[in-house]
Structure 1
Amino acid sequence: MKLHKLSYTLLALVSAFALCLLLITISVVRQRQTLASSQSETSYPKANSSAPDSEEESALVSAPPPPVESSTADLEDLADPFLDTAFVGNSFVFDLKNYGLIPSADFYGRVGLTVRTVFTESVVGSTIPVIDELNAKQYKTVILVFGENELGWVYPEIFKEEYAKVIGAVRERQPGADIYVQSLFPVSAAASAKNEYNTNNTRIQEYNHLLEALAAETGAGYLDPGSEMRDRDGCLPDEAAADGIHPNIQYCQIWVDYLRTHLKGDPS
């Protein structure tokens, strides 16, 4: 009898233990199912956090920024108008070179040079005629500065004819260049009154009319930077030049600024 009771007791304990184990197993399975379900409903960040969640957002993200608009005029303003430019002429060209206001240009100038001697005289340090210096390379622009040393010529029309030969010679050497004829600068009232070598503002105005007509006849451009230097009496201000004739560096800067705004496109 005691043996049977012990057997029943052991059987009851085993059954109880098995039941407990089953309940624990069921509980663990349910917890795992609950956890898996909650994970499937949770929104996790994408691997690439910058990726868009919709087509609209994708369009906004992938669209490049609008281009910065820049007009042709803006680009021209940024460009150096003196690249591939040559100045040919008298002492005014020589002064402009020495002031260093246009480092990108080439200067072929000589004190006392005229529309005749440009074919025979050379610049300092060279042995070839000034006009042949233009064979050195191809220029985009050639600016001619002549007339001050020819004011004393008896016949202004001869000056005009000789100048036309210079323009023709430049075209032979620089067929693709824009050629500009520059006006004569005014002189001070004192220099005009002195009238050395017929240098006076009345004569200068006469020559400038000839130069403007010459430019029109030959298809060259005409530049008049002297128009920015005249006072109300049509003279060069006294403070502009020590000798009343050759502008100092401040007034040469006015000259350069004028050219900078007029050397765009074809000569006109």
Structure 2
Amino acid sequence: MKRFIALFCATILIFSLSISAAASDVLGDANGDGVVNLLDARLVLRYALGLPADIIVENCNVNNDDKINVNDAKQILRFALKIIDDFNPQVDKTKWKVAMFGDSLVEGLALYVDSERIDYYGKLNTNTSNIYTKKPSGHNETMLNCVTGKGYNIIIMLVGINEVGNNTAAYIDAYRKVAEKVMNDNPEAQFVIHAMLPISASASNQNRYGVTNQNINIKNEALKNLADEIGCGFVDAGVIFRNEYGVLPEGISSDGIHMNKKYCEKWDKWLIETLL
């Protein structure tokens, strides 16, 4: 990411930042001058990095994910350089391959779901430190090797239930290293961070090793920020599980944490509908 930003800035250094945003409704036209060029890409990059930039916000979310980040700047740069001619081309995802890897929650998906579209690689007690050597159940390769170089179009990571009570900054730092390795090793794939799922009220009240819904929410907010920072996707299947109190309903899990077969199948269906 740092290498991209440095190259990006060098490519368009010759352009001035003195132009102010005016009226325009051209997608990708950050400064409102009616054209999409390298200056627009630089303005959006500055905005994404939190630097001063006078932009027309409505024109800058070119990948239509409801947020302006480095990915938008990259797409505007590609458009300005005529590498692409459409910000949102129609993509046939019917043959896309998807992989999801992670801890025991993903292992449950692998155990209970015969998915039509997603390959699941999970293992009990996986965390952001030991994931480099962990081998998913039923596989001889390490988890990261299972998802690398296999032609996956989307790679989803869910790791954290064993680290809910840990220091958040340390957890995110370790998570970032795993994420960036997977992204670097699979440059053609879309990398997606999956939020930690809520747990039941009874499991949260036990507060074993700091595993509470409050701490899960803190970690998820940090994961969302990380996704924005490194320019990857973020999904949260918790939206289909949380009850009116924001927790996992009692009875859909034997331990208040891991989904039973019915809800693993529901989770798999939601992922397919959301991502594909």
The reply to whether TM is greater than 0.5 is: yes
Contact 1:134 1:173 (8 Å CA) reproduced: no
Q: Please give the alpha-carbon distance, in whole angstroms, between the structure 2 residues aligned to 1:185 and 1:134.
A: 22
Q: How many residues align?
A: 188
More helix by share: 1
Q: Please give the alpha-carbon distance, in whole angstroms, between the structure 1 residues aligned to 2:94 and 2:195.
A: 23
Task: Look at both structures and tell me which one has the larger radius of gyration over its CA atoms.
Answer: 1
Q: Please give the alpha-carbon distance, in whole angstroms, between the structure 1 residues aligned to 2:94 and 2:109.
A: 17
Deviation at 1:127, TM superposition (A): 4.8
Alignment equivalent of 1:215, drawn from 227, 243, 266 = 227
How far does the alpha carbon of each residue in 1:90-143 deviate from its partner, in whole angstroms, 9 at most, with x for none?
011111011124144222211110111111222235454321222351210100
Deviation at 1:234, TM superposition (A): 1.1
Moved more, 156-165 or 98-107: 98-107
Task: Using the aligned pairs only, state the percent identity.
Answer: 30
Deviation at 1:80, TM superposition (A): 4.5
Contact 1:187 1:236 (8 Å CA) reproduced: yes
Q: Which residue of 2 aligns with 1:113?
A: 126
Tell me the C-alpha RMSD between the 2 structures.
2.1
Give the TM-score normalised by structure 1.
0.65
Alignment equivalent of 1:139, drawn from 127, 131, 152 = 152
Q: Please give the alpha-carbon distance, in whole angstroms, between the structure 1 residues aligned to 2:113 and 2:212.
A: 28
Amino acid at match of 2:274: H
Q: Please give the alpha-carbon distance, in whole angstroms, between the structure 2 residues aligned to 1:142 and 1:126.
A: 17
Q: Which residue of 1 aligns with 2:198?
A: 186
Q: Please give the alpha-carbon distance, in whole angstroms, between the structure 1 residues aligned to 2:268 and 2:197.
A: 13
- Asked if 1:247 is matched to 2:227, the reply is no
Deviation at 1:212, TM superposition (A): 0.7
Contact 1:241 1:248 (8 Å CA) reproduced: yes
Amino acid at match of 1:198: G
Alignment equivalent of 1:201, drawn from 213, 216, 224 = 213
Q: Secondary structure at the match of 1:179?
A: strand
Q: Secondary structure at the match of 1:239?
A: coil
Q: Which residue of 2 aligns with 1:17?
A: none
How far does the alpha carbon of each residue in 1:165-206 deviate from its partner, in whole angstroms, 9 at most, with x for none?
111111122110001100111111100101112111111111
Q: Secondary structure at the match of 1:181?
A: strand
Alignment equivalent of 1:229, drawn from 231, 236, 241 = 241
Moved more, 156-165 or 103-112: 103-112
Distance 1:177 1:224, change over 3 A: same
Q: Please give the alpha-carbon distance, in whole angstroms, between the structure 2 residues aligned to 1:244 and 1:169.
A: 32
Contact 2:196 2:220 (8 Å CA) reproduced: yes
Q: How does 1:20-35 map to 2 (within 5 A)?
A: none
Unaligned stretches of 5+ residues in structure 2: 1-88
Alignment equivalent of 1:129, drawn from 116, 139, 142 = 142
Q: Please give the alpha-carbon distance, in whole angstroms, between the structure 2 residues aligned to 1:258 and 1:104.
A: 12
Q: Please give the alpha-carbon distance, in whole angstroms, between the structure 1 residues aligned to 2:105 and 2:239.
A: 16
Q: Secondary structure at the match of 1:192?
A: helix
Q: Please give the alpha-carbon distance, in whole angstroms, between the structure 2 residues aligned to 1:135 and 1:232.
A: 39
Q: Please give the alpha-carbon distance, in whole angstroms, between the structure 1 residues aligned to 2:101 and 2:149.
A: 13
- Asked if 1:158 is matched to 2:170, the reply is yes
Unaligned stretches of 5+ residues in structure 1: 1-71
Contact 1:101 1:256 (8 Å CA) reproduced: no
Q: Please give the alpha-carbon distance, in whole angstroms, between the structure 2 residues aligned to 1:115 and 1:162.
A: 6
Amino acid at match of 2:264: C
Q: Please give the alpha-carbon distance, in whole angstroms, between the structure 1 residues aligned to 2:156 and 2:97.
A: 11
